[in-house]
Structure 1
Amino acid sequence: MNQVVEQIQGWYRNERELSNYSIMDVGDKLKYLAEKGLIWILKDMKDNTEFEKIVIDSFLNKYRANQVYDNLNAHFDLKPSNQTPQPNSYEIPQKDLHFQDKKQQFLEIRDVKKFSGYQKAKELEEKIFDLCRNFPSYEYNIVDQIGRSANSIKKSIEIAEQIYVREKFKNYSDAIGSAKETSAWLEISVKQQYISQNQFEELDNLVKQVVSILTRTMSNIIKKEGEEKELPNPYTPDVRNFTAYEEALILVEKVYEMTSVQEFRKEKDIVYRMRKYATSCVANIAEAHQLYILKKFSFFNEALMALSRVDSLLQTCLTRQIVTEKAITEIKKLIVTIRKILLKTMGNMSKQK
């Protein structure tokens, strides 16, 4: 890859993390690169979120005539800048392009298998895989998703064992999000009586232990490296204190209850999709409770999309006279309530720096 391309991608990743994934700051950086003709360089970055992909495509289309693909060194001055960058008016500082040269950015790599957080995550994954063997055959969506989320915790912790502080935080954040998602699937499972209360409490406690270990590890890194201003607060809120999450769990129960009646016995596809989207709403709300604002925004947006799909399927059921308007009144009220809470939360997040 062209050296300048690598430098610009590295600069953007650094800027993104320094802003704690603030939507407004990330948007400013993307617009700046679009105006300078460099936005195309970010398009194929594998770690782009869905939000970034949408914004990059939008700016690439709007500023397509600005893009420069050849002889980048001749077109752009990458000299160091001692001034604080301002949106749409700064040059890319060389010191930021080589941010990994900062001494405090390097950590010692250890054997991840000896890390207690990894050990707990591995234990959790094994117990969940064993537990899922007893789920009803028709609940392959829950079995698949809870298995994926449990595996993702372990994988993210493995990837986090590297020298870069910010990359460690990013992957720990992903692991925490997956842990909270796993807990959500467990809560759905116990409410549907696929697992016992004791099984739920045992596995949920393991999830909490993983999150606690990762949080404590990040907190210690901040204290040791002295980067409080550059790294996100490692403490995440309890999703069970978030009203939208509790309402979404009720939505799942109501959807399961409604689709269990005789009228739905011949509508297996609708039943599957409605339950899938209702449970997806819960899982995405849970996974949004991690460190970075951009990631939170992305998962809340996925939850909104899942709500819209449930709403659309309800209309299909009405049209085909599978249900009556009265039968879905409570579910529709829940959808409206959850949507309002999520939109308000996202609005408040977009104002944060």
Structure 2
Amino acid sequence: MNEKVRQIQQEYQKVRELSNYSIFDIESSLKDLAEKGFVWILKDLKEICEAEEILIEHYLNKFRSYQIYDNLEVNPYLQSSIETAAKPPSQSSLDFAPVQKEKQTKKQQHLEVRDVKRFIGYKKARELEKKVIELCQNFPSYEVDHIVNQIERSARSIKDSIEMGEQVYVGERFNQYSIAIGSAKETSAWLQMSLGQKYITQVQFDELDNLTTQVVRILTKNLSNIKEKEGKGMDLPNPFTPNVKNFGAYNNALLLVEKIYEITRKPEFWKEKNLVRKMRKRATSSVANIAEAHQLYISKKFRFFNDSMKALDGLDSLLETSLIKGIISEKELKEIVELRISIRNVLSTKMANISGEKAS
């Protein structure tokens, strides 16, 4: 890797740390880099979250003609940026404007990097992934491209995020552990939907669901200790997340999945494989996103609730298509729509509250 590129990436990581990884704080920094021709440099960073990936891609596309790829060694703007990398962000020629003064003056907090393979949370996550993969070998073939892929992906994400969290920056560990916690809750949701369709037994569900709960507890305990000790003086989120199984919209979304699977198994749908696939995907996606929204950062909570809303809207459109084709009755449609609306109303209220939290 070009040394100049590496140093720009390191400078950006410092800004992320100072802003406590708030996507709202660093968005204008990404835009600033794009306008000056260097946002492409961040695409190789492995530590960036999904929201950052989306923003980087957005600004890269918007300012693609601005990007400078050649002669980095002699580029005067880039050189001056690197020379001032050690200065506070407000003095850097990259001019990362959104970082507030009080955050700039906070002491950079660091953690001791440990061998992740010796961390009990990582061991539990690896065990969970192995058992999920073994379990999925007995799923119906028509679920390979849907539930199987999704549950294996979410289980793998827990382990991968824990591994990425084992680094020196406190804020990044919080960020990666938050992703791992969300993935654990999503994995539990896919397990619960699999149980509802009788793809797994109650005993199998209880064993793996208990394993995901153990991972969440271990990560939460670690984050709580870090917040009280190494993270003092930093604006870190509360590491404790609510139990999604006590959330009414989540349980109603599970009922919605049951109804969609029940209806799409009827003979009227046998010739509508593509419609069946899409309807099931939208319904299950709503559940998975509600579950994954139960994590640490406000911006992530909002985004996952919003994705659940989009899935519900997509399902509504597919239901109307089914009605037009005459493969679903008005009565069946009414029951599902009422359930969908009840979920949507709860999510709307929750998102309004989250927006209030951000504003305050």
Q: TM-score, normalised by structure 2?
A: 0.80
Whether 1:194 and 2:199 are equivalent positions in the alignment is yes
RMSD between aligned residues? 3.6
- Kindly state the Cα deviation for residue 184 of structure 1 after the two structures are TM-superposed: 0.3
Does structure 2 retain, via aligned residues, the 8 Å contact 1:156–1:172?
yes
Picking from 117, 131, 139, the partner of 1:113 is: 117
The partner residue of 2:243 within 238, 244, 265 is 238
Q: How far apart in 1 are the matches of 2:265 and 2:224?
A: 47
- Equivalent pair of 1:78/1:91 in contact (CA under 8 Å): no
How far, CA to CA, are the matches of 1:67 and 1:134 in structure 2? 49
Mark the CA change 1:206 to 1:3 in structure 2 (over 3 Å): closer, same or farther.
Answer: same
| Letter of the 2:139 counterpart | F
**Bigger mean CA offset, 251-260 vs 226-235:** 226-235
Give the 5 Å matches for 1:1-353.
Answer: 5-33=5-33, 39=39, 41-42=41-42, 45=45, 47-56=47-56, 71=75, 72-73=77-78, 78=84, 80-81=87-88, 90=97, 102=108, 104-110=109-115, 112-140=116-144, 141-227=146-232, 229-351=234-356, 352=358
CA distance in 1, matches of 2:202, 2:58: 48
Q: Deviations over 1:213-249 (max 9, x none)?
A: 1111122222331435243322112112323222211
Residue segments in structure 1 that go unaligned for 5+ positions in a row: none
- Count of aligned pairs between the two proteins: 345
Q: 1:67: how far off?
A: 7.0
Which shows bigger deviation, 183-192 or 305-314? Answer: 305-314
2-structure distance, mates of 1:162, 1:294: 23
Distance 1:189 1:230 in 2: 39
SS at match of 1:106: coil
Deviation at 1:47, TM superposition (A): 4.8
TM-aligned CA distance change 1:134 to 1:285, over 3 Å: same
Deviation at 1:284, TM superposition (A): 1.6
Asked if structure 2 preserves the Cα contact closer than 8 Å seen for 1:109 and 1:163, the reply is no
Q: What is the CA-CA distance between 1:262 and the residue it aligns to? A: 1.9
- Matched position secondary structure for 1:225: coil
Preserved contact between residue 165 and residue 177 of structure 2 (Cα < 8 Å): yes
Supply the distance in 2 between the matched residues of 1:330 and 1:91 (Cα, whole angstroms). 48
- Cα deviation, residue 66, structure 1: 7.7
Distance 1:233 1:316, change over 3 A: same
Name the CA shift for 1:182/1:92 in 2 (closer, same or farther; >3 Å).
closer
SS of aligned partner of 1:272: helix
Residue aligned with 2:174, SS: helix
- Identity in percent: 54
Unpaired runs of 5+ residues, structure 2, are none
CA change 1:235–1:11 in 2 (3 A) is: farther
Greater length-normalized contact order (CA 8 Å, ≥ 6 residues apart)? 1
Farther-moved stretch of structure 1 (42-51 vs 293-302): 42-51
1:308 is displaced (CA, Å) by 2.7
Do 1:51 and 1:294's aligned partners in 2 also have CA atoms closer than 8 Å?
no
